[in-house]
Homo-oligomer: A and B are copies of this chain.
């Protein structure tokens, strides 16, 4: 990284962490130059970068100030899901979402796709194309069931950044994070068992519990600090919970990063009640802060945390390469992995190992961090502009999703029906709940280049919401049909 980019990263992290609150004046160019031992022009370049990413604004003659876009929107409320174990529903709605594939005529704001158009991804595409050149056909064979050693070594190295010292031998490569979660769950729980989850919670996890015949106990969750430890403790006292499954870093869909102290307390709770933790870290590497946040796994001293992740959000989902660090459950996870899919595809493993080894992965992360953070601010601005007053919006600290909470009575399922005809798709809130809560919420993806076409799509969503709020149910069909 260049000097000015490093400095910009440091400043943006401080802003991110609230050290410089919104509206506050930032240190002068001269002060920073002395503090960091860099030239005046380096500091100026750093500030220009921060201006471009809309984090700071220059006020003539006064200096640089922290911009406040994000705090203009109110946060979603702390969630209050049904606090008993429930069977999961909503499969039809999930199926509707995942059956779609990229289409020209549909702005898909609903799916969890990263942006793959950045040039920093090019070396990966090249590596993937290297299939079988020079007569090396190893990529057509099965490899070790645990995964290609070269890739496991690279992942072990990357894991250091999240505070984890895990050797390649303790890792299992999987077919995406999906398989990591599924194998992990099957390794520690039986059908009928109760699993505590943060709420709202990724629909894939919900459906996995459903498919495995397990019950979800949804725990209230704060949109800034994550799962409520108090509520979790009560639940652990009250129910025979077998595992806690959660996404503490850059949570999907809420976007929070659980503070370190709470991660440690959660682990202590799990130890006291002797339950396993399944930690989904699939967005952890695209936290906007640098260095990236620690995992719960990094505090784990008795192997009870199963850390699950993949390259689906950081690189590309079509690769289907993920991993799990299953701690003491290695043997069982390996068995579950074997019976689920056998060995993992060899070629993408070789290509990704190559990509990481040559430093391209970290470079790509750096770029995506900045890009997604800028997009978050832009998208938040659009939501506030086009959505009805009173709309509550999450403040993600990583990843590329916004969680939007509307009026209590609003029905996003109905909204989606109207939107489809207008060529827009969102993710309805109810699929993030075992019990079908959050019908008044939706999730929007801000990963792609935010073109005016997307702005128009967001505007259509906002306007449709407004009409649905105003129009009497009967008349709305025709009202909307006219504009359709």
Tell me the A residues contacting B by CB distance below 8 Å. Answer: 91, 94-95, 98-102, 111, 113, 116-117, 121, 125, 128-133, 137-146, 175-176, 178-179, 182, 186, 190-191, 204, 207-208, 210-213, 316-320, 334-336, 338-348
Q: Contact: B133 with A129, CB < 8 Å?
A: yes
In the bound assembly, the distance between CA atoms of A146 and B99 in angstroms comes to: 7
- On whether A338 and B140 interact (CB within 8 A), knowing A95-B145, A129-B132, A145-B99, the answer reads no
6 closest Cβ contacts across the A-B interface? A140-B316, A125-B132, A318-B346, A178-B342, A211-B339, A208-B339
When distances are taken between beta carbons in the complex, the residues of chain B under 8 Å from A348 are: 345, 347
When distances are taken between beta carbons in the complex, the residues of chain B under 8 Å from A338 are: 94-95, 98, 178, 204, 207, 211
A440 to chain B, nearest CB (A): 26
User: Can you tell how many copies of this chain the complex includes?
Assistant: 2
- On whether A340 and B343 interact (CB within 8 A), knowing A101-B144, A320-B175, A335-B211, the answer reads no
Q: Contact: A319 with B341, CB < 8 Å?
A: no
In the bound assembly, the distance between CA atoms of A319 and B100 in angstroms comes to: 24
Q: Contact: B344 with A320, CB < 8 Å?
A: yes
In the bound assembly, the distance between CA atoms of A179 and B142 in angstroms comes to: 15
For A142, give its contact among B130, B211, B317 (CB under 8 Å). B317
When distances are taken between beta carbons in the complex, the residues of chain B under 8 Å from A129 are: 129-133
Q: Contact: B125 with A131, CB < 8 Å?
A: yes
A87 to chain B, nearest CB (A): 14
- On whether A339 and B212 interact (CB within 8 A), knowing A111-B142, A141-B318, A317-B140, the answer reads yes
For A102, give its contact among B138, B191, B339, B342 (CB under 8 Å). B138
Q: Contact: B176 with A341, CB < 8 Å?
A: yes
When distances are taken between beta carbons in the complex, the residues of chain B under 8 Å from A208 are: 339
Smallest CB-CB separation from A315: which chain B residue?
B140
In addition to A125-B140, A141-B318, A319-B345, 20 A-B residue pairs with Cβ atoms within 8 Å of each other are: A95-B334, A95-B335, A98-B142, A101-B142, A102-B143, A111-B142, A113-B141, A121-B140, A128-B132, A129-B132, A138-B318, A182-B340, A208-B339, A211-B335, A317-B343, A320-B343, A320-B345, A341-B341, A345-B345, A345-B348
When distances are taken between beta carbons in the complex, the residues of chain B under 8 Å from A116 are: 137, 140-141
In the bound assembly, the distance between CA atoms of A5 and B211 in angstroms comes to: 50
- On whether A131 and B128 interact (CB within 8 A), knowing A99-B146, A318-B346, the answer reads yes
In the bound assembly, the distance between CA atoms of A340 and B113 in angstroms comes to: 19
Q: Contact: A318 with B345, CB < 8 Å?
A: yes
A and B contact pairs by CB, cutoff 8 A, 17 listed = A95-B145, A95-B335, A98-B343, A100-B144, A128-B347, A129-B131, A142-B317, A142-B318, A182-B341, A191-B191, A207-B339, A211-B338, A318-B343, A319-B345, A320-B343, A320-B344, A341-B341
When distances are taken between beta carbons in the complex, the residues of chain B under 8 Å from A176 are: 341-342
Smallest CB-CB separation from A347: which chain B residue?
B318
In the bound assembly, the distance between CA atoms of A17 and B146 in angstroms comes to: 42
Q: Contact: B91 with A335, CB < 8 Å?
A: yes
A120 to chain B, nearest CB (A): 13
When distances are taken between beta carbons in the complex, the residues of chain B under 8 Å from A191 are: 190-191, 213
A39 to chain B, nearest CB (A): 39
When distances are taken between beta carbons in the complex, the residues of chain B under 8 Å from A140 are: 116, 121, 125, 316-319
A171 to chain B, nearest CB (A): 14
Smallest CB-CB separation from A332: which chain B residue?
B211
In the bound assembly, the distance between CA atoms of A140 and B335 in angstroms comes to: 28
In the bound assembly, the distance between CA atoms of A101 and B129 in angstroms comes to: 22
When distances are taken between beta carbons in the complex, the residues of chain B under 8 Å from A340 are: 175, 178-179, 182, 340-341
In the bound assembly, the distance between CA atoms of A145 and B94 in angstroms comes to: 11
- On whether A117 and B137 interact (CB within 8 A), knowing A207-B339, A338-B204, A342-B204, the answer reads yes
A431 to chain B, nearest CB (A): 12
When distances are taken between beta carbons in the complex, the residues of chain B under 8 Å from A111 are: 142
Q: Contact: B179 with A318, CB < 8 Å?
A: no
When distances are taken between beta carbons in the complex, the residues of chain B under 8 Å from A132 are: 125, 128-129
